[in-house]
Structure 1
Amino acid sequence: MNQTTETSRRGFLKGTAALTGGLLVGVAVPGLNKPANAAATLHTPNAWVHISDDNVITLLTARSEMGQGVYTSMPMLIAEELNVRLDQIQVAVAPPDKAYTNDLLGAQITGGSTSVRDGWEKLRIAGAQVREMLLMAAAKRWNVDRSALRAEDGMVLGPDGKKATYGELSADASTMPVIAKPALKDPKDFRIVGKRTRRLDTPMKVNGTAQFGIDVKLPGMVYASIEQCPVIGGKPKSYDDSAVKGMPGVLAVVQVADGVAVVADSYWRAQKARQQLKVTWDEGSVAALDHNSIIGGTRAALDTVEPIDIVKPKGDVKTAMAGAAKVVKAEYVTPLQAHAPMEPMNFTASYENGKVLVIGPTQFQQGAQGAVAAAVGVKPEDVTLRTTFLGGGFGRRLELDFISQAAQISKAVGRPVKLVWSREDDMSHDFYRPVGVNRLQAGLDANGMPVALHFQVASQSVTQRAFGLPPKTLDPFMAEASVTGYAVPNTRHDLIIHDTGFRVGYWRAVSHNMNAFANESFMDELAHAAGKDPYEYRLALLKDQPRFANVLKLAAQKAGWATPPAAGRARGIALMEGYDTYMAQVAEVSLDKDGEVRVHRVTIAADVGQMVNPDTVEAQIMSAVVFGMGAGLKQEITMEKGRVQQSNFHDYPVVRMYETPVIDIVLVKSTEKPGGIGEPATALVVPAIANAVATLTGKRVRKLPMTAQAIRTATA
């Protein structure tokens, strides 16, 4: 029997005013000529779907659009159950509210490749609930049985030619009870979900109507550029702005908690005047750090800090290791890395009479609202947040520093302010991906197969810094991809948390990056020690792992693993599960005349479970491969006396178009639950390349990035 709730959904479908049970807030919908009425309420399905009298259907998406396609995939889920065309749905970004909590992350957050995984059932249920309410409303209006009606293309159709649009029924439907567990479509009946679909936000990004944070304009708005301590975490003690006063367009100089901002009538004038500031800094505790000391301290923690079990140990590793025919050991290091999104940090704030409006790119709406409230001394409910498109996120826009700065500056000058960081600000004041040091040890039997494995990873806990995870508590975002699918009878997996004192943040694919690089490089080293083909060696260890084995076979076949590559080239293979997605990659590489790695082709087989939009899945894999190549081959943040030495893309290079390989993708048809796809390929391409380089050169690079110098100095 269908269950119903007692809550009336008054105002849920009829959105012209604030009605009982929810507050209707005007939300600007990017690319549309009129606002959508967004229901900011604690109840589902109110929080997700709104249908107005003129038959406009609006989805309130709780996930930020930063290139991953949620402005298309989320509406597809709603449209499927509502039985409407995708072009009948417009999209608005949800305001901060616990109704929009990402159940996989515990807050209103876009990250962790969770958007589809979290919304897969939630949004389909919301759409089905709306459909049933409309059908019940029509049945009551026409005095017919519900079974005689059907919903299709924004209309309810009944006997004797009866019909009404969803909008015409919205007022009556708002009084209907909500079915808590409506019947959902069988996937075999899907008309939208699972079909290749063009992204809804592409036209507006092409024609320039899409609004990113850096595009925001408000009446009377001024601009700010902020000088921050060259040592991250440092604070201003005093400043001299005598050279700034009187410069063209300068309106004010404002000290905030972590910097000194110049406010002017244009960004250029604010930036130029800022260069004349003289600030005395309290550099704080990080001033003594450099990147080598961070790596050294993390390595030392492996021997001095009590480990945490990632999973329960299996068998007797110590005894099996002692009786092994051969023992193989290796250590792998991943460096600090910057997010480096194309759109630098920026936010616009307007403080007036104890109320604050903030507009810009964020991955963490609730956090942004709370941080602004705390920074300017108001209640969270007095902060209105509007989320724009994000010109890249990768975890950097989970942080709240630049948002708080904008609000503080606006309050100080009493005007709307757009704060814009320069590229150099962005590069040198990031929350960097933490250093990781992995040690692996395996015991092999007489046939070269592993009988014991001891995995260790030491790194910093981002979750501990960001969300107050108690000490000596397993941080799951440090342990991703640490446990593989390979059959080894005796295993132990240790997590060592080491706080370097330097601020770090979540970075695309998070700890998959260090752990997959270590595990899959080590698996190749074991195959080499056993004198066996790396593909065959892996396959022999996956007899009870059909999803792993399937993608491994598909990638190897598609890449032509059984045939020799062209002269001067080599292939490497790697395998991983990440965010419920099973993936294998084969990279084909050579070295250029300078000894730099050239990646010619990357072949991917991915089992992501049920897909919403295969077109976006492929795009995300391609994006992740290129992003991961930069991390694996080019990028490293170095420090001296607490100062980041990289400042722009000339010394923190990204992969250019001419360096991008052919990317060949095989998507597995699956009935499994959806997996995440925005991140896994980022981590996996690195060991695939590393294994290819080792095959090509006979040298194993165990510390990233794999530069020409790193390859020249590497050992076997």
Structure 2
Amino acid sequence: MIPNLMESIIVPAVKAQASRRQFLIGAFATSTGLAVGYHLLSASPAAASETATVSDTHAFSPYVTIDVDGKVTVLSSQFEMGQGSYNGIATLVAEELEADWSTIDVKGAAGDVKAYGNVAFGGALQGTGGSTSMLTSWDRYRRAGAATRVMLVAAASAEWGVPAAEITVENGILSHPSGKSGGFGMFAAKAATMPVPVEVTLKQPNEWKRIGNAGLKRFDSARKANGTEQYTIDVKLPGMLTAVMIHPPLFGAKVKSFDASAARAIKGVVDVVEIPRGIAIVGENMWVALKGREVVTVEWDESAAEKRGTPALMSMYRDLAAKPPAAIARKDGDVESAFAAAAKVIEASFEFPYLAHAPMEPLNSVSRMNADGTLEIWGGHQFPDTYQALAGEIAGIAPGKVILHVMKTGGSFGRRAVFDGDVVVESVHVAKALGFRAPVKVQWTRENDMRGGRYRPAYAHSLKAGIDENGKLVAWSNHVVGQSIVSNTAFAGMVQNGVDPTSIEGANNLPYAIPNQVVGLTTTEVGVPVLWWRSVGSTHTAFAAEAFLDEVAEAAGKDPVEFRLSMLEPESRHAIVLKLAAEKAGWDKPVPEGRFRGVAVAESFGSVVAHIAEVSRTEDGHIKVERIVSAVDCGLAINPDQVRSQVEGGIGFGLGAILGEEITLTDGQVDQGNFDLYTPLRIDAMPMVEVHILASANSPSGIGEPGVPPVGPAVANAAYKALGKRIRIMPFAKSLNV
């Protein structure tokens, strides 16, 4: 969700390939075994010590622990919300450690930015987003696994009185030609007393057994299948109370007064309290809290609220898109002269609605103040450092006394990556209003979640293209209109010269050789809260560019695939994935009767994905997506099966958005509250999907999001062939009036 241009706002010099000198390694004995970790330096490596001692344990948190039973626990800096980051990080550690895969577990870690800072964000904060989990983990978690193995070998060498070089490690067992052998647990405690290796040698690709292994199954599949996996919604603490929220019906409104007397009379309702974000009804359980919520009356101060509806907002956007942009994000060549000299000029406009993240698990958080003055918080901590600081401020304690339990989460798609703490802040506020006398879980309902804002912004695009007498694209213009995601946030520094890069990413870096092009941006001021949404700016920019490009190809009399290839370097990543997708889809062969094909290719989060969509026409004048053939270059595929799953999931997610999803407002109030009116893709609408992964020796790039951007335009381009109508207003259901 968070864009891949984060590095431009923090420490641009820090890349994924950090040198060994950028890490300090350390280890210490635990009550049951060994813990090993790295310290990612935020200062210059030259200013730090070259080595770390066993006593230097305060400087880092461990990445790997091994107990006396041989269980290997990986402490992940990355948040698991279904994208498979835990599995990928476990693979990196297990590969270098030579662990038994059946003994691996992964837990979320937080509270030490020096240890867990995201490399892609310059190491300045811990965060999961922008499809950077494998990028930030690739080096340090392999090194942690390798260092742990070296220390276990050293322990076995000392125990057995044999040279370390004669000891082999495989599948969790240390062995010596003499016949001596033992599991990790046997040597864990002794290993903690061994010298910490300053340098470790990582395996070569030809030695890998787990990295790149398409047959390696996720370590957590069984407990997800049998229902034993624990999420925040499952947290139950002794004496815990449950709170449900009443939020303002209009964005920007505030509580003027409320009457909770009827609610307080209901047995099991403990209290009704006002917090900065609304009214919380606190009960012994969620059911009674919901019953209490039904009888609370609130008077709202709407003087500062956003009261415009969708028709008024989109009318404003259309008017702005027709005018010159307020800022220029890119300008190459002499665009005006190129248009004037063009043999043919094509124009089109596109509109995109607000979109909700709609994760399966609505937002929630649990807070408990302990007798020792520490505050524990259970939740989906996508930006843990921020939540730790905010919670400490509310509770009146130092951030270091806030203990975060990083729970697995049933989806996020960017929704939990907020800088005001959102539901985490709510749980602390409610617990504080109760005098911290009991643990409190704040659990949002689906309606809270759907109407809670933080949407993918609405956008309008105005595009124009010029082609010469030979059908060559010589001029291109795109004016983007929409809200800024990062303004007035911790990432506000990303806005340069009036350009929020999250609004135009994917538009200002088209891979095509167009000699004259301009990308403009007009940022609107609207009171609807917005946030990054899976694949961020590319959700709309890729659609507008790739759908319009098909219109240009038609005007030029060119095949859509050949037209794109003619503007790409033959050996570029875009050209290679496009050719692979076309080949696997049989683009050069006649399409089956009743089927129609469309194509799109897009780069996002360091990866390039091409989709070929195959659709059929339904009797009601709509289309059914029958098949998607995808080719992806995401660098080295650590878990090929997971890469495939993420592309498949991204296709389903993107299809739901373009076919039927939209958040609309009437006089400022959100119309949709549940999945009856907000309609993600249903299972019977999911097409057959084929995913082809390019072999690559490059470092891993993003995969959680790049499957989303090209699916919309590929389907739209196929739909044009099926219906004879260009789809430029999202969702399709609105454009096709079905």
TM-score by length of 2: 0.88
CA distance in 1, matches of 2:164, 2:21: 16
**Once structures 1 and 2 are overlaid, which stretch shifts more, 513-522 or 177-186?**
177-186
State the match for 2:467 in structure 1: 444
CA distance in 2, matches of 1:382, 1:436: 42
- Matched-pair contact (CA < 8 Å) for 2:306–2:528: no
CA distance in 2, matches of 1:296, 1:347: 38
Deviation of the 1:562 alpha carbon: 2.5
State the match for 2:5 in structure 1: none
SS of structure 2 residue aligned to 1:467:
coil
SS of structure 2 residue aligned to 1:230:
coil
State the match for 1:541 in structure 2: 567
Q: Which runs of 5+ in 1 are unaligned?
A: 24-38
SS of structure 1 residue aligned to 2:305:
helix
CA distance in 2, matches of 1:115, 1:505: 20
SS of structure 2 residue aligned to 1:288:
coil
Q: 1:407 aligns with which of 421, 424, 428?
A: 428
- Matched-pair contact (CA < 8 Å) for 2:460–2:480: yes
CA distance in 2, matches of 1:697, 1:307: 37
- Matched-pair contact (CA < 8 Å) for 1:286–1:502: no
CA distance in 2, matches of 1:325, 1:8: 64
Q: Find out whether 1:103 has 2:119 as its counterpart.
A: yes
* Residues 266-285 of structure 1: pairs in structure 2 closer than 5 A: 266-285=285-304
Deviation of the 1:161 alpha carbon: 4.0
- Matched-pair contact (CA < 8 Å) for 1:315–1:489: yes
State the match for 2:735 in structure 1: 710
CA distance in 1, matches of 2:415, 2:22: 40
- Matched-pair contact (CA < 8 Å) for 1:485–1:545: no
CA distance in 2, matches of 1:152, 1:583: 36
| C-alpha RMSD over aligned residues | 2.8
State the match for 2:542 in structure 1: 516
* Residues 564-579 of structure 1: pairs in structure 2 closer than 5 A: 564-579=590-605
Deviation of the 1:43 alpha carbon: 4.7
CA distance in 1, matches of 2:376, 2:626: 48
Deviation of the 1:190 alpha carbon: 0.6
State the match for 2:627 in structure 1: 601
Deviation of the 1:635 alpha carbon: 0.8
Amino acid at match of 1:590: S
Change over 3 Å in CA distance of 1:4–1:40 after alignment to 2: closer
CA distance in 1, matches of 2:23, 2:248: 56
Q: Find out whether 1:691 has 2:717 as its counterpart.
A: yes
- Matched-pair contact (CA < 8 Å) for 1:132–1:179: yes
State the match for 1:679 in structure 2: 705
Q: Residues 251-293 of structure 1, C-alpha deviation per residue, up to 9 Å, x if partnerless?
A: 1111111111111112111111111111111225333222233
Amino acid at match of 1:341: P
CA distance in 2, matches of 1:332, 1:40: 57
Q: Find out whether 1:334 has 2:359 as its counterpart.
A: no
Amino acid at match of 1:9: G
CA distance in 1, matches of 2:502, 2:300: 34
CA distance in 2, matches of 1:276, 1:334: 37
Q: Which runs of 5+ in 2 are unaligned?
A: 1-18, 40-54
**Once structures 1 and 2 are overlaid, which stretch shifts more, 73-82 or 677-686?**
677-686
* Residues 27-66 of structure 1: pairs in structure 2 closer than 5 A: 43=59, 46-66=61-81
Q: Find out whether 1:250 has 2:269 as its counterpart.
A: yes
**Once structures 1 and 2 are overlaid, which stretch shifts more, 647-656 or 54-63?**
54-63
* Residues 387-398 of structure 1: pairs in structure 2 closer than 5 A: 387-398=406-417
Change over 3 Å in CA distance of 1:405–1:4 after alignment to 2: closer
Q: Find out whether 1:373 has 2:392 as its counterpart.
A: yes
Q: Find out whether 1:264 has 2:306 as its counterpart.
A: no
SS of structure 2 residue aligned to 1:691:
helix
CA distance in 2, matches of 1:476, 1:159: 59
CA distance in 2, matches of 1:294, 1:131: 59
Q: Residues 203-244 of structure 1, C-alpha deviation per residue, up to 9 Å, x if partnerless?
A: 112222111111110001111111111012322121111221
- Matched-pair contact (CA < 8 Å) for 1:301–1:498: no
Q: 1:481 aligns with which of 487, 495, 506?
A: 506
Q: Residues 663-688 of structure 1, C-alpha deviation per residue, up to 9 Å, x if partnerless?
A: 12222222222121111112211001
State the match for 1:581 in structure 2: 607
Q: 2:329 aligns with which of 303, 309, 315?
A: 309
Deviation of the 1:100 alpha carbon: 1.2
TM-score by length of 1: 0.91
CA distance in 2, matches of 1:398, 1:4: 31
Q: Find out whether 1:653 has 2:679 as its counterpart.
A: yes
CA distance in 2, matches of 1:122, 1:636: 41
Change over 3 Å in CA distance of 1:43–1:137 after alignment to 2: farther
Q: 2:451 aligns with which of 417, 422, 428?
A: 428
Change over 3 Å in CA distance of 1:286–1:292 after alignment to 2: farther
SS of structure 2 residue aligned to 1:219:
coil
Q: Residues 354-405 of structure 1, C-alpha deviation per residue, up to 9 Å, x if partnerless?
A: 4321112232222222222233332211211112221111111113211111
Deviation of the 1:178 alpha carbon: 4.0
SS of structure 1 residue aligned to 2:386:
helix
- Matched-pair contact (CA < 8 Å) for 2:325–2:520: no
Q: Find out whether 1:343 has 2:361 as its counterpart.
A: yes
Deviation of the 1:689 alpha carbon: 0.9
**Once structures 1 and 2 are overlaid, which stretch shifts more, 405-414 or 361-370?**
361-370
- Matched-pair contact (CA < 8 Å) for 1:333–1:703: yes
Deviation of the 1:188 alpha carbon: 1.6
Q: Percent identity?
A: 38
Amino acid at match of 2:606: D
CA distance in 2, matches of 1:401, 1:680: 27
**Once structures 1 and 2 are overlaid, which stretch shifts more, 299-308 or 497-506?**
299-308
Deviation of the 1:416 alpha carbon: 1.0
SS of structure 2 residue aligned to 1:294:
helix
Change over 3 Å in CA distance of 1:80–1:594 after alignment to 2: same
CA distance in 1, matches of 2:358, 2:56: 33
CA distance in 2, matches of 1:457, 1:587: 26
CA distance in 1, matches of 2:36, 2:725: 69
Aligned pairs, how many?
A: 692
Deviation of the 1:711 alpha carbon: 2.8
Q: Residues 527-551 of structure 1, C-alpha deviation per residue, up to 9 Å, x if partnerless?
A: 0110111112112222344321221
Change over 3 Å in CA distance of 1:282–1:521 after alignment to 2: same
CA distance in 2, matches of 1:304, 1:498: 14
CA distance in 1, matches of 2:37, 2:652: 47
CA distance in 2, matches of 1:111, 1:21: 22
State the match for 1:174 in structure 2: 192
CA distance in 2, matches of 1:402, 1:648: 19
Q: Find out whether 1:221 has 2:237 as its counterpart.
A: no
Amino acid at match of 1:200: F
Change over 3 Å in CA distance of 1:40–1:524 after alignment to 2: farther
Deviation of the 1:78 alpha carbon: 0.3
- Matched-pair contact (CA < 8 Å) for 1:5–1:179: no
- Matched-pair contact (CA < 8 Å) for 1:332–1:438: yes
- Matched-pair contact (CA < 8 Å) for 1:40–1:97: no
